Amino acid sequence: MAGVRTLQTLTESFWRDEYVVSAADLDLVTGQILEAARPQRLGALASTIILRRMQAEREAVTRQAKQGDLYQPKGHYEVGQTVVFSALDFQSGRVVGLRAGENPKYGPFNVIRVAFDDPPVEREFAADLDVPHPLNVPVEELVVSTDSAVSEADLVRAFEHYVAVKLEPVLEEAPEFVRFDGQWFLRDLLPEIHVGHLNLAEAMIDEAGHPLPAREMIAELELPVTGSREAQLFALNRALGEDSRFDNVSTADDRVWFLRALVPEAVYERPAVLEPAFRAQGGEYIGLTMLDMVEEIGDELDDVDAAAVLRDSGSVRFELSFPHLYAGTMPATQSLLRMMPPSTQRYYPITLVDARGKKRFDAWVVPEERYVCGLKEWYTETGLTVGAEVTLASADEPLTFTISVAPVRSRRRDWIRVATVAEGDFSIQLQQQAPPPVRADQHMLMLVPDEEAIVGLMRQAAEAQLSLSAMVRSTFLELAKLGGTVHAKSLYSACNMLRRTGAVPVFAELTRRACYNPVGDGLWVYSPDLEGTVYRDPDEMRERPLSNREDTVRDQAIQYLGR
């Protein structure tokens, strides 16, 4: 409203540029915590300060306005009278002159001359002018100006961040305040948590063999009864968080604790065999028929972060690669993570239930590393091998999933690829073997009698920085010795015994290099005379114009944008 003062506490510029935390603000924060008798979030403390500052400024302006008559054009004033002007930041002045106004448009009215002290100046204002005017409104509306379209709650939400970022470092420096997990409390109100309590908490978790919430442990710890239940929880959670033996593994506001000594090492350090060498970037050209293979394999390295994952079927399926088999992990693809609750923790536990034997066991989701660890024992007991088809499905209980594999009906011996290291080189041979006890993709399937030898080979390849093209070529030629043609999934499976790679980088190499020719059903052949030649556009990748093979099939090349 024109001519009406806007309180500075209602402006963004004040909180952003001018506000400074005062001793009175800290007293207010202390009082709020004392009154609530429980920890308070920083945002709630900031909101309290904003509301109190707004109220204080309104009260100050109201007191200032009462020092004299509030000026309005319709008002009548006499010489010697003190008048307060809302449009002049509530300056007061003394009427020193009065004369008749001259304006036929408004009829009779007066003009007062007012003397101000700071700075010393005299100005004239209309009086006895009862016409529509922004200042001819009820007096209470002149004290402050607010935007009726913006509520006080909206203003608090808009300014809360500015106060919070200034308040937080002050609270951190003040010894009387303590913080845990975004909440603040008073140190003097904390019940004592000593080493005996922490040792007992460690024993409780160790005996349970699974994470325990702080609320469940409190009853057994016999904490001092002083203070509220919330204060006890705050003190216990804070003490557990400062003790290196414990890890917070919760996915919700209720803190859940586990022992670092009981979780797999892969929770804290990515296994070397899972170190990505080649992953999908998005935009690579691959054959249209390869998209189904990428989906079936379910490799986390084929996720493209910018891709929108629209599916939420409640289950995921993947085909086990050697690195995951060896590390006892499974891919945490975007599709799998969508089945999990959001969490800010580095890792958190889930319960897996074997669909056949109903055995329950803990596994650990490590979202940033994109894998789930803790499956090594189950892999071994179930007889999984490279290429095994595994399905994970949501169960009725929170954070619980069934994990299943399909048994094979016949264990009749058959020719199966076996990966070994012969005289320091990667070797793949066909041997008559009994198939694994669970169903595996026939193209991915590969037995590995000496896993440590393959791991050593992967270490050497990483140290030598074996390139993608060199890896694909050498592996293709090794597989081609078994029958001439090589299936794209077999190539992916074998490449993952040299360096950790997604399927898309391998498939993109097949698609763009002229020396590889598709002959149908996912099979490819090698043409040594075209070694080093690269197709540059999707039409060439489809037509394979340099191929002299009559059995070459044409597969539309498309840009990979994610699964």
Check if CATH label 3.40.47.10 holds for domain 190-262: no
Single-letter residue type at 388: A
Burial per residue of 460-471, b for 16 or more beta-carbon CB atoms within 10 angstroms, e otherwise:
ebbeeebebeeb
CATH number of 264-563: 2.40.330.10
Q: What is the value of pTM for the model shown? A: 0.72
Task: Indicate the fold that domain 69-143 takes in CATH.
Answer: SH3 type barrels. (2.30.30)
Count of beta carbons in the 10 Å neighbourhood of residue 68: 16
At 552 the pLDDT is: 93
Got the DSSP string for 277-302?
Answer: EE---S--EEETTHHHHHHHH--GGG
Please answer whether residues 487 and 443 qualify as being in contact, where contact means their C-beta atoms are separated by less than 8 angstroms.
yes
| 3-state SS class at 227 | coil
At 353 the pLDDT is: 96
Q: Which CA distances in Å does 127 have to 101, 111, 133, 383?
A: 9, 6, 12, 98
Average pLDDT by stretches of 10, the chain with 563 residues: 62 90 94 90 94 85 67 90 80 90 88 91 92 75 57 87 94 93 89 90 90 88 77 90 89 82 91 97 95 96 73 84 98 93 85 92 94 96 96 92 89 90 93 91 96 97 97 97 95 98 98 96 96 95 94 95 85
Please answer whether residues 355 and 403 qualify as being in contact, where contact means their C-beta atoms are separated by less than 8 angstroms.
yes
Where helices occur in 383-444 by DSSP H, the ranges are: none
Q: Which of 169, 148, 160 is nearest to 53 (CA)?
A: 160
Please answer whether residues 546 and 531 qualify as being in contact, where contact means their C-beta atoms are separated by less than 8 angstroms.
no
At 229 the pLDDT is: 84
At 2 the pLDDT is: 42
Question: What is the rounded distance in angstroms from the CA atom of residue 142 to the CA atom of residue 4?
Answer: 6
Question: What is the rounded distance in angstroms from the CA atom of residue 261 to the CA atom of residue 83?
Answer: 76
